[in-house]
Chains A and B, each alone.
Chain A
Amino acid sequence: MNRISGMTLKTHISASLTVTLAGTFLATTALAQTPAFNAERIEAAKKEGALSLFTANLPDLMQSLVAKFNSRFPFIKVEVVRLANPPLIARVEAESTTGRLTADMMETTDLNDAKKLENIFEDYAPPNASAFPPASQISKKFWPMCGAAYVVMVNTALVTKMPSKLDDMLDPALKGRVGTVLPGAGGTSWAIALMQRVKKGDDWWQKFADQKPLTFQSSVPLGTAVASGELLMGFAPLIAVAPLQKQGAPVAAIGLDDGIPAAVTTGGVVKGAKNPNAARLFMDWATSEEGQNTYSELGCASVLPGIKLPSAMKVDKGQVWVPPFAEYAGRQAAWIAEWNKMYGVNQ
């Protein structure tokens, strides 16, 4: 157990940064009124008529999110470019350096990466900026969008005994039949790896590595592997479960007693964007109560106070665990390298 983590975590939770699952959270009422968006911005966005959105969030979620945005603002054609986080960052770096960045706005799953790319974002604040807890912000340029909570995705057609704690994943019967996303693939998968080590000790990674888990670059192929029955279960974000359930796949999301780790994706408007007003309008909407409720419906936990947690999130099972940024960023490179070596992954 890492002392710094424990202390920071306590501080962090007490600051009620985000989804600390107090009962009051669940009693939040629905939106009473539709938020007003800046009329001038809407007009300017209408003139632009298009938006290029780079994201590392999941494709099904983005499709539903954009559909909801378009039901409100049908005059903006949103082009979603979805890549896993590392190639997304590489693409954005390459394009911005060569002056060919086609993104108007960008959402990354890794706060650390967002911080590194801070210079490509313009100064932007949503109309409800003051409503966001100060601790949820690491820059004035990008804002929390989707709190991706990690659960265990289980194939319910093949598994009868559901896991309830991290150690249940070490059951010898699961050897070779469990999966996980590489912690280097993005902020959310890093959060689950971090929680495992912080909560269960330095040797837990090795114990899980001995289970010979299959490793994935993204939660989508992991979800496919669980849904197909190739794997019995695997660590996956909640937002990856809902689309599979919608298709009728026999999968369930199980929150563990040890905690439900969550990492927040962040978005911002790209400096010099071709469609800056459309980008700002999308950000205005995405960070508004309306937008955050939409995220919640799609499986994201919101850091905006008053937003309901996703209905699929069994909060009584465990406590949402949001890694403190200092630890999240400070440990990332060294621990991921260690993890990769332990799991025989070349990244």
Chain B
Amino acid sequence: MTDVAASIATQTRAPKASGSRGLAGRVWIGSLLVLLTMLVLYPLFMLLLGAMSKVGPLSADFSIWAINFERLVGVATHATAQRALMNSFITCGLGTLLALVIGLFFAWMTERTDTPGKQVIGLVGLFPLFVPPLVAAIAWSLLGSPRTGLLNVVIGATGLPFRLNMFSYEGIIFVFGVYYAPYVYLFAAAALRNMDASLEEAAAIAGVGPMRTLFTITMPVIAPSLGSAALLCFVVTLGVWGVPAILGTQAKIPAITTYIYTLFQGNPPDYAGAAAASIYLVLITGIGVLLQRWLHSSRNAVTVTGKSTRPRVMTLGRWKYLTLAIGILYLLIAVVIPMLALMFIAFRRFIFVASFSAMFDTSLFGWANFDKLFADPHTMLSIWNSLIVGVTTAALGSVLCFALGYTIVRTRLPGRSVLDIVATLPVAVPSLVIGISYLWAWIAIPIGLYGTLGILVLASLARYLPDAMKSMTGTLGQAHRELEEASWVCGTGVLATIARIILPITWSGVAAAALLIFVLSIREYGATLFLYNNRTVLMPLLLVQLIEVSNLGIVAAYSLLQVAVLIGLTAVGWAIARISRRLGTARPTKISTREGANA
């Protein structure tokens, strides 16, 4: 390891190295590459083989050499698959458009207007991120069921002639739009915050009105960022199973993800068909991600320049109360009303609501659903397993991210760009597909990985690595080389320099990466949907299971439990990250003092 470290140091300082140090550097890169190959490339390779196989990996007839294109062609020409893909394009495309409108409005309101309480609204506007899309879809199915949805009962009581129907294209688009708006908001707010305001100032001096400036100056400047956010939102929603599964199944609106799931869950399961459909999904997502990256890295997207003026805040006058009202309405729609619906159903003995007044019949409320839920040992097991998988994935992920990030950003070792590409490859692979590829990769190999928490950790790690890498490489890139070089000049080795200099100053990035992996691992189900068993069930997976076999009261009760646990665990994780960041930032002072004294 010392040789490796020395080699990395050499390679960091000099582009070329020779002898044993060069060899050690190559070994280091090779080791990381082998790790990533097992984590990412091998499962994807097996997925591709699976798509070109006639039978599943469990079949005695399965051979990796029996390649054919039957299933790939079969899926591409299957009418349901084509319809599912078209439905996905429609719902995800229009959902993204809605998310764009909502996210942009919120960004504009919080960054460019004098709306009262905008900081709080901006913060609370991120709350939908704590409501997993699956839970959101369940809540809205309770609210907008065509005849007996709770909102329809209320609408009926007012005498209005219309009813909501969430089991429809509109319902799916609505949920995608509302719950993925925070993704757009984060991009758009950053772009608005960081853009050079001199053009807007010039427009103001020229007497152009604020709204015209907004649409003719501001929007075009941040358009590439918005386009990037929209593409990201589109590819993310394309890989979501829960929303179309809950809202589209009854209405017979298959999506590409529900189509894959149905193939997998069929009797007998069509593993090869699921793999083939997954390949197409990867291709489409990959194109989306490439476009998104191109937009994000294009010159047009550079809104951060040497700013001479702060963006002007628009005075809305009395209209500011309208923007405030719209902000509050969004929070009600995205968080408050769905949570109330879940609580209503979770605490009610049964779901039949004869009339508006019957909603308030307190004799029907109780803890029965929670009693049943906690009588099932899988409930507590799922929370415990989620904690284990979340913590393990976060710990391994942050170490791997740091090792990869450091190698990619701060060394000149040959092959580091390959590492970068492989590590970020899963961003173009929907979670559901990662799950299928892991199934193909590990189910038939008798090393005891399938059916363990270990495979859930690895699948989660592979899927969420690119997200964490983004945070890690960004932080590592910001750390100036001077500190590192000063350490080397003092004769400190690479590992000691990393431990004493780099790690403390980039600790916030490491903690953020760990927290991100932790939250995604315990919130999302896609990567693990095909890999768990009754002993390794996680919270979102148990929810999927309950949806299929339990009454809605229990589903609602568990949904609430999941949101509560998610918020609780995230808060704990955030507190730990914050404390460790403080400890981390406190250390360099002592180290630098000691290093200074040594020098």
The residues of A with any CB-CB pair to B shorter than 8 Å are 52, 54, 58-59, 63, 79-87, 89-91, 93-95, 97-100, 102, 110, 113, 155, 157, 184, 214, 217-218, 220-221, 223-224, 227-230, 243-244, 247-250, 344-347
Q: Please tell me which one of the listed residues B58, B84, B266, B446 contacts residue A347 in the complex, with CB atoms under 8 A apart.
A: B266
B549 at interface by CB-CB < 8 Å: yes
Given A102-B535, A344-B252, decide whether A97 and B443 contact each other with a Cβ distance below 8 A: yes
Residues from chain A with a CB closer than 8 A to the CB of B551 are: 220, 223-224, 243-244
B451 at interface by CB-CB < 8 Å: yes
Closest-CB distance, A127 to chain B (whole angstroms): 29
Q: Are B545 and A98 in contact (CB under 8 A)?
A: no
C-alpha spacing A95/B349, complex, angstroms: 36
Q: Are B351 and A227 in contact (CB under 8 A)?
A: yes
CB within 8 Å of A: which of B361-395? 364, 368, 372, 375-377
Q: Are A346 and B80 in contact (CB under 8 A)?
A: yes
Residues from chain A with a CB closer than 8 A to the CB of B352 are: 155, 157, 227-229, 249-250
Residues from chain A with a CB closer than 8 A to the CB of B568 are: none
Interchain residue pairs with CB less than 8 A apart (18):
A63-B372, A63-B375, A84-B265, A84-B548, A84-B549, A86-B269, A87-B548, A89-B267, A94-B450, A98-B444, A98-B446, A98-B450, A102-B533, A102-B535, A110-B267, A155-B352, A157-B352, A217-B548
C-alpha spacing A227/B345, complex, angstroms: 13
CB within 8 Å of A: which of B233-260? 250, 252, 254, 259
Residues from chain B with a CB closer than 8 A to the CB of A247 are: 349-350, 368
Q: Please tell me which one of the listed residues B254, B268, B353, B443 contacts residue A346 in the complex, with CB atoms under 8 A apart.
A: B254
What count of chain B residues pass the 8 Å CB interface test?
47
The 5 A-B residue pairs with the shortest CB-CB distance, nearest first, are A100-B451, A86-B267, A249-B350, A81-B534, A228-B351
Closest-CB distance, B75 to chain A (whole angstroms): 12
B96 at interface by CB-CB < 8 Å: no
Given A79-B377, A86-B267, A98-B450, decide whether A224 and B444 contact each other with a Cβ distance below 8 A: no
Residues from chain A with a CB closer than 8 A to the CB of B375 are: 63
Q: Are B548 and A83 in contact (CB under 8 A)?
A: yes
B552 at interface by CB-CB < 8 Å: yes
Instruction: Name which residue of chain B comes closest to A97, CB basis.
Output: B58
Q: Please tell me which one of the listed residues A97, A110, A157, A220 contacts residue B550 in the complex, with CB atoms under 8 A apart.
A: A220
Q: Please tell me which one of the listed residues B147, B268, B533 contacts residue A100 in the complex, with CB atoms under 8 A apart.
A: B533
Q: Are B269 and A90 in contact (CB under 8 A)?
A: yes
B354 at interface by CB-CB < 8 Å: yes
Residues from chain A with a CB closer than 8 A to the CB of B533 are: 91, 95, 100, 102
C-alpha spacing A178/B462, complex, angstroms: 44
Instruction: Name which residue of chain A comes closest to B60, CB basis.
Output: A97
Given A83-B545, A113-B267, A218-B548, decide whether A228 and B349 contact each other with a Cβ distance below 8 A: no
Closest-CB distance, A99 to chain B (whole angstroms): 7
B471 at interface by CB-CB < 8 Å: no
Given A63-B375, A95-B533, A227-B352, decide whether A347 and B368 contact each other with a Cβ distance below 8 A: no
C-alpha spacing A86/B261, complex, angstroms: 12
C-alpha spacing A345/B550, complex, angstroms: 22
Q: Are A86 and B349 in contact (CB under 8 A)?
A: no
Q: Are A228 and B145 in contact (CB under 8 A)?
A: yes
Residues from chain A with a CB closer than 8 A to the CB of B349 are: 247-248
Residues from chain A with a CB closer than 8 A to the CB of B145 are: 228, 230
B286 at interface by CB-CB < 8 Å: no
Extra contacts, 4 of them, besides A90-B264, A229-B352 (Cβ < 8 A), are A83-B549, A157-B352, A229-B353, A244-B350
Residues from chain B with a CB closer than 8 A to the CB of A155 are: 352
Q: Please tell me which one of the listed residues A82, A87, A93, A228 contacts residue B265 in the complex, with CB atoms under 8 A apart.
A: A87
B262 at interface by CB-CB < 8 Å: yes
Residues from chain A with a CB closer than 8 A to the CB of B545 are: 83
C-alpha spacing A293/B210, complex, angstroms: 78
C-alpha spacing A89/B266, complex, angstroms: 9
Residues from chain B with a CB closer than 8 A to the CB of A113 are: 267
Instruction: Name which residue of chain B comes closest to A223, CB basis.
Output: B551
Q: Are B377 and A95 in contact (CB under 8 A)?
A: no
Instruction: Name which residue of chain B comes closest to A54, CB basis.
Output: B534
B128 at interface by CB-CB < 8 Å: no
Q: Are B267 and A90 in contact (CB under 8 A)?
A: yes
Interface string of B424-452 (1 = CB under 8 A from A): 00000000000000010001101010110
C-alpha spacing A344/B269, complex, angstroms: 19
Q: Are B548 and A347 in contact (CB under 8 A)?
A: no
C-alpha spacing A247/B145, complex, angstroms: 21
Closest-CB distance, A169 to chain B (whole angstroms): 19
Instruction: Name which residue of chain A comes closest to B354, CB basis.
Output: A157
Closest-CB distance, B229 to chain A (whole angstroms): 33
Interface string of B64-104 (1 = CB under 8 A from A): 00000000000000001000100000000000000000000
Q: Please tell me which one of the listed residues A59, A228, A243, A347 contacts residue B549 in the complex, with CB atoms under 8 A apart.
A: A59
Q: Are A346 and B259 in contact (CB under 8 A)?
A: yes
Closest-CB distance, A85 to chain B (whole angstroms): 7
C-alpha spacing A347/B266, complex, angstroms: 6
B508 at interface by CB-CB < 8 Å: no
Residues from chain B with a CB closer than 8 A to the CB of A227 are: 350-352
Q: Are A100 and B450 in contact (CB under 8 A)?
A: yes
Instruction: Name which residue of chain B comes closest to A243, CB basis.
Output: B551
C-alpha spacing A44/B295, complex, angstroms: 67
Residues from chain B with a CB closer than 8 A to the CB of A89 are: 267-268
Given A93-B58, A98-B443, A224-B351, decide whether A79 and B548 contact each other with a Cβ distance below 8 A: no
Residues from chain B with a CB closer than 8 A to the CB of A52 are: 534
C-alpha spacing A175/B496, complex, angstroms: 74
Q: Are A228 and B262 in contact (CB under 8 A)?
A: no
Instruction: Name which residue of chain B comes closest to A103, CB basis.
Output: B534
Instruction: Name which residue of chain A comes closest to B449, CB basis.
Output: A98
Residues from chain A with a CB closer than 8 A to the CB of B266 are: 86, 184, 347
Q: Are A230 and B446 in contact (CB under 8 A)?
A: no
C-alpha spacing A81/B364, complex, angstroms: 29
C-alpha spacing A224/B444, complex, angstroms: 39
Q: Please tell me which one of the listed residues A81, A85, A228, A248 contacts residue B267 in the complex, with CB atoms under 8 A apart.
A: A85
- Of B146, B259, B351, B372, which is in contact with the most chain A CB atoms at under 10 Å from its CB? B351
